[in-house]
Structure 1
């Protein structure tokens, strides 16, 4: 089974303000007061004017243009951008966190753990019965960004 999620995470309290800065309006509530804006490559292509400059070795879809939008939206709030790509237990994950117009965590890419570390950095706690912050916040509850968008 695969896990292919690209998205932006922030607090539920900050979601509408973030949505006013970025070109993605749909977000899905996850656990502990957070939301995820699910992204797909088609959605990114449709909402950000080309040409896109891909300057991060750690990411497939994070362009300089999207990163600049996230930097702008990060005043007084954490904004976490993530990508996962797993199939049959093999793959990797990438993450970066912005706050106050700066990168404050990452960019990081690993086989596992970097997203959980970033989630804990922004305040997600590991709930009893969960392996890590990734599971606690509910990111393991869906398999793809498309699944989240289809449920909108």
Structure 2
């Protein structure tokens, strides 16, 4: 079974303001007062400015970020922390990368788990950034990822479709 996600995660209020600047963006509620914007190809194109993907200089190292994308994240993060997450799994192995922007800069990450690397005892990159932006593990849940409901859909497209 596969799982693929590229998303921005923050408070519902923050992401509602951010999405208003990007017509293709849709806000999907998560648990614990958080929400996500699935980063679909349309959202990514709108956030990239001139449309070219370049390796960011001094940014979080996500291959699909452009300079324009990171400038938007930095600007939005002045109103509150915002996490950028990506995950790609197939058949139990895969990768995760996550970072948090706050006060206009990357403040955590990028945190990465490569293919076939075991998850650290203190949590995966996505759980770390969720913790940093206020998520907590709920009783009976494995971690912050599960507690906020990130297992509800298996793909970025599935999340985008759930936004309606």
Q: Same-fold call, TM > 0.5?
A: yes
Q: 2:133 aligns with which of 91, 116, 122?
A: 122
Aligned-partner Cα distance in 1 for 2:65–2:52: 13
Deviation at 1:108, TM superposition (A): 1.2
Quote the residue 2:53 is aligned against.
52
Quote the residue 2:153 is aligned against.
142
Deviates more, 1:118-127 or 1:54-63: 54-63
Deviation at 1:89, TM superposition (A): 0.7
- Unpaired runs of at least 5, structure 2: none
Q: Is the 8 A contact 2:47 2:68 kept in 1?
A: no
Aligned-partner Cα distance in 1 for 2:99–2:88: 16
Task: Give the secondary-structure state (helix, strand or coil) at the position aligned to 2:151.
Answer: helix
Aligned-partner Cα distance in 1 for 2:2–2:95: 11
Aligned-partner Cα distance in 1 for 2:3–2:132: 22
Quote the residue 2:92 is aligned against.
89
Number of residues of Structure 1 aligned to a counterpart in Structure 2: 152
RMSD: 1.9
1:29-77 CA deviation, whole Å, 9 max, x = no partner?
A: 0110111000123541355322221236853322222111100111130
Report whether the alignment pairs 1:100 with 2:121.
Answer: no
Structure 1 residues 103 and 24, CA, compared in 2 at 3 Å: closer, same or farther? farther
Q: Is the 8 A contact 1:21 1:69 kept in 2?
A: no
Quote the residue 1:34 is aligned against.
34
1:93-118 CA deviation, whole Å, 9 max, x = no partner?
A: 10110011011110111154011011
Q: Is the 8 A contact 1:9 1:36 kept in 2?
A: yes
Quote the residue 1:69 is aligned against.
72
Deviates more, 1:66-75 or 1:49-58: 49-58
In the superposition, the TM-score normalised over structure 2's length comes to 0.83
Segments ≥4 residues shifted beyond 4 Å? 21-24
Quote the residue 1:109 is aligned against.
112
- Unpaired runs of at least 5, structure 1: none
